[in-house]
Amino acid sequence: MDHQPANLLLPSSPRTFGFFINGKVVEAGSRPYFERRSPGHGVAVTRIPKCTKDDLDLAVAAARRAFEDGRWSRIPSVERASVLLRAAQIIRRRAEEIALWETLENGKPISQARAEVDGCAGIFEYAAGAARALHGDAFNNLGDRLFGLVTREPIGVVGLITPWNFPFLILCERVPFILAAGCTIVAKPSEVTSATTLILAEVLTEAGLPAGCYNVVTGSGSTIGQAMTEHMDIDMLSFTGSTSVGRRCVQAATGNFKKLGLELGGKNPQIVFADADLEDAADGVAFGIGFNTGQCCVSGSRLIVERSVARAFEEMVAAKFAKIEVGDPLDPGTQVGAITTAAQNDTIMSYIEKGRAEGARLVCGGDQLDFGRGQYIAPTLFGDVTGDMSIARDEIFGPVLSIMPFDTVEEAIAIANDTVYGLAASVWTKNIDKALTVTRRVRAGRFWVNTTLAGGPELPLGGFKQSGWGREAGIYGVEEYTQIKSVHIELGKREPWVS
């Protein structure tokens, strides 16, 4: 394919953004900037302010005022739903613009970015319905003199830290549910992919969200992110990222015992039985590791294949890899784009070298691709992988797939569960007994049968083990940002205690 960049879509100069507090854009002033260069083209595309802890304090104070005065937390749910529905309409109207900035900063294929933005509008629409469906319970079983209610109340100010791999999608898997619950937000995007988080501020303001309910503070994780985890006036923190940083969030949150929602790392198995539709499975496996350039916490990076078909299936997957279109993210035909950061590019290549050094057999890929600009890695497949190898145990976060054979259902389950992670898994088989057995016994928060990376906002997201705490999306995703209150109502006059 033609790897020349779509020059007409590249900005002639980087766009300078301000951050967003209390319904207003705040210019950087004397603050320094991050300059973001497109990972697919090597040209500067955005300039993002490096905020300070004082900026964070102002944002949290704005969110606190907005929450406490009830401008959002105490209005009828139908009014909250109306704002979310208008936001969905605006996202669709601005979809091409949002997708372009997503691709320029992240390096993902433009076709993928467009699909994600459309899906994000759908998430807002779902959350609007969930806002109106949120409810408590009544207890009419306490005798004639006592009536009980359980109410759900918004938890308060939510700090939201999002990663660079799905800047807009992960943001939209959180924000509408947090708002549906009646909470207010202080968001901190990754410093390398901040544009679409700031654009969402424009969207929500136009949709009618009151000032102070959505604030964005940009900056590094070590400065702003750490300060958010420690902040005494943030009631809950939602963090998506690595397990190592999630562990630091747990430690920092003890200051005010803030609630945590954590979606962390994954080393996700794809189990393929000999009775599967192998052609379909091979395509699904290639998609599962190639989507978003493998920079996906739920990507299927461990391929566990029944031994009788392992070598034949390896050849099928390698053939699929050879046909994947890698190249310019702005080309609509590209399937695998650029690696988002130079540091991540180096990490992926270091794991490819570890795979070779530890004795795995390189089946295909393993190369740094040179298109004259940008960071690209060929989809890579390793065979003869054992469970003690680094490429089988560590989250690589790139297009690197390891094959391990099995002989029995029990062995497949054991290999799948032999990890500290438990985020996602897939199984490919035509046998319903095998499918259900594996689904019930593999420890993972999301599971796919004869598909992968499929779904919508109706089902919750989250992990087992060291892949995180809590759930996002679905009605569970609204409930996650509420707290429960038990109310006891005496009917009539209570019995005197002192006569």
Nearest to 227 by CA among 51, 34, 53, 32: 53
CA distance 160 to 200: 14
Task: Tell me the CB-side half-sphere exposure of residue 158, using CA atoms within 13 A.
Answer: 31
- Would you call 4 helix, strand, or coil by DSSP? coil
Measured CA distances, 397 to 294, 295, 339, 341, 374 (Å): 6, 5, 10, 12, 18
Q: In 358-485, which ranges are continuous DSSP H helix?
A: 390-393, 409-417, 432-441, 474-479
Q: What's the gap between Cα 138 and its chain centre?
A: 35
Positions of E strands within 80-156:
137-139, 146-154
CA distance 160 to 158: 6
Task: Tell me the CB-side half-sphere exposure of residue 271, using CA atoms within 13 A.
Answer: 31
402 pairs with which residues across the strands?
302, 382
Q: Any residues with CB less than 8 A from the CB of 401 and at least 6 apart, and which? A: 285, 289, 300, 301, 302, 303, 317, 379, 380, 381, 382
**Tokens found for residue 376:** 């690209």
CA distance 406 to 304: 7
* Residue 30 near residue 55, CB atoms below 8 Å: no
Measured CA distances, 30 to 18, 49, 184, 225, 265 (Å): 12, 9, 28, 21, 37
Nearest to 474 by CA among 486, 461, 483, 487: 461
* Residue 46 near residue 28, CB atoms below 8 Å: no
* Residue 185 near residue 158, CB atoms below 8 Å: yes
CA distance 347 to 242: 14
* Residue 79 near residue 218, CB atoms below 8 Å: no
Q: Any residues with CB less than 8 A from the CB of 383 and at least 6 apart, and which? A: 314, 360, 361, 363, 403
Active site amino acids: 263
- Would you call 325 helix, strand, or coil by DSSP? coil
